[in-house]
Structure 1
């Protein structure tokens, strides 16, 4: 017996006369904030902009109807039928939630036969294969970063091998996943992260923030990152180690670190041991809506990291701030292989210091804030994402054995 969702706003038998193009299945989008969730929301914005003929049903395993969902409402489903419709399956018992969603999804696939199913996380891939493959319904697996960079369990590797396509955010993420799991690179398509150029804009440094962080007359370098002991690859410690050499040339430099986590005490101790604790400002957590004003405090965005992509680099560039990244990760895409920023060995304080000094001197063309903004928006703005998504959807039409 198939189990229907219990939330009153869900009606899986509704209006089967409408053509349903696609189904998306995700772990969660609205209950948490993070890189994956922001990426998915950008995809939804792009999908909604495609217009008539594109309608998707979205199944959410860990979200509930009580989550704040900016995409839900009659205004997003015009009379031509296009838009997004959401089904929620959060349950106090994770196992029961998964069973309920699996039953509801199978019923929906049998009744509506969508053109394609998009699996939004590798942890759902085996379930999607089990439901779609016997019905001949093509499916695409969306990947983000390190969740597919190591060898996966056999069930998930089989699900990837059987997928019609795999979408990922960068060349680096593609290469890591393919090497770890024997994936055919020809099956992988790029759908990179996007920047909202209407939100992230250049502007003056707010005096109240300058005063709050003690940045008067300072040259400010900045990092936005989680300060977790498991995320030392973000390179905050490397930047702190680079500070003594930077200060020899720019004694007015201060390093503004935005983020929180259990690694902060170690980083603070490192700054003290190096004699630069008065140059490092730990701002703690900053809400998303306040980040733009904080980016505007920076004279340089410095994060010698190992990223799957690195949306923060685009955010900084859209605000007109020059950027530094690692030289062997997904940041090669937003930095256009060094065309619009500095790429250095990510664990090398000397290289970070030398590049940071170049940025603060401001003579390099890559310091031109207006040009940086134009580059970021032209290649990774919402319009670019919309075009890339449309191209992928059109390319995938008619795939499979149906």
Structure 2
């Protein structure tokens, strides 16, 4: 009788649990899908910025976690490097999956020293421009590169001389059972002052380094939208140091009474906030944009930028509006079209069906297994 050998992997990430965001959500989907694969797959997960006190639903016999959060970033990196070196030397895993370009040079150094193949995971802007020489070498020396969208693949390859055939696609996925259509919550409508209003929603972090998310452009579009829909309001969900600037912009434009900053909303409450929307608006530059899938799964029409990875979830405009991401006039015109509701892309049931058919979470484990098989072989004896 044939006995399947265990397939030992190592995953290396900056963080998963300390902060919430699109990348963290994506990584959690990878780990969840990994646990759905055959039990021959087992991995150790090294986390630079997370601590053992985090709420980790993935820890198990097949996924063992190692934490290196430290008050000193340098100390944390040194401890991670030494622990990883010892682990790789002692265990000799079949393959290492480096979860961020910022960890790629370390991964290359250790893996090449010990003759272990490795893969680098990429997402968006962090690889769209020309990288440092050592980071480019780490990508070139990897056995493969994963990314989440055609746009991220094309940008990374063009900027850093990468062979596109080396890049494997593992797009984001949406759980259609978690994000579903539903009535607007009367309690939340009252809480945010949205009764009798047409509601635009954005879910994003409000960091001063992330103005590309387009919240300021949507605020600039509001005066034009209000000329057609006098009852429109804009609900911004998220937190960050850029909120004071955005609030002042709304005040300067005379629309401060139309912009509501909801602050941080826990993941489990997001669905009820998506359902408040008549349109999800984020004219951004995303590596993919999981939020668009979340909104569409709730039956909400969406608007994105037209020069980024959102082309994939919006299926090149088939499922939503794509506009120049720093053009307030274009955002205003598209928002008016969406709120008028005459386009098929506003039909919630159809929109949800299309989004889930292309990116449903049910197919994610199969995609992961295929890409793992491309990166490392499973031996049998």
| TM-score where L is the length of structure 1 | 0.88
Question: What's 2:342 paired with?
Answer: 363
Q: Structure 2 CA distance, aligned partners of 1:61 and 1:268?
A: 34
1:244-263, aligned counterparts within 5 Å?
A: 244-263=223-242
Deviation of the 1:102 alpha carbon: 2.7
Deviation of the 1:297 alpha carbon: 0.5
Question: What's 1:373 paired with?
Answer: 352
Question: What's 2:29 paired with?
Answer: 42
Say whether the 8 Å CA contact 1:21–1:116 is kept in structure 2: yes
Q: Secondary structure at the match of 1:56?
A: strand
Q: Which whole-Å deviations, capped at 9, do the CAs of 1:302-357 have from their partners, x for residues lacking one?
A: 11111111111111111110000010011111101001001011111221111111
- Answer yes or no: is 1:162 the counterpart of 2:124: no
- Answer yes or no: is 1:394 the counterpart of 2:381: no
List runs of 5+ in structure 2 lacking aligned partners: none
Q: Secondary structure at the match of 1:21?
A: strand
**What is the aligned-residue RMSD (CA, Å)?**
2.0
Question: What's 1:197 paired with?
Answer: 176
Question: What's 1:12 paired with?
Answer: none
Question: What's 2:304 paired with?
Answer: 325
- Answer yes or no: is 1:21 the counterpart of 2:13: no
Question: What's 2:271 paired with?
Answer: 292
Which of 127, 133, 138 is residue 117 of structure 2 equivalent to? Answer: 138
List runs of 5+ in structure 1 lacking aligned partners: 1-16, 78-82
1:1-400, aligned counterparts within 5 Å?
A: 19-73=6-60, 77=61, 83-398=62-377
Say whether the 8 Å CA contact 1:220–1:255 is kept in structure 2: yes
Q: Which whole-Å deviations, capped at 9, do the CAs of 1:280-304 have from their partners, x for residues lacking one?
A: 2222222222211111000000111
CA distance change for structure 1 residues 113 and 43 in 2, over 3 Å: closer, same or farther? Answer: same
Say whether the 8 Å CA contact 2:5–2:40 is kept in structure 1: no
- Equivalenced residue count is 375
Say whether the 8 Å CA contact 1:20–1:112 is kept in structure 2: no
| TM-score where L is the length of structure 2 | 0.93
Q: Structure 2 CA distance, aligned partners of 1:248 and 1:32?
A: 39
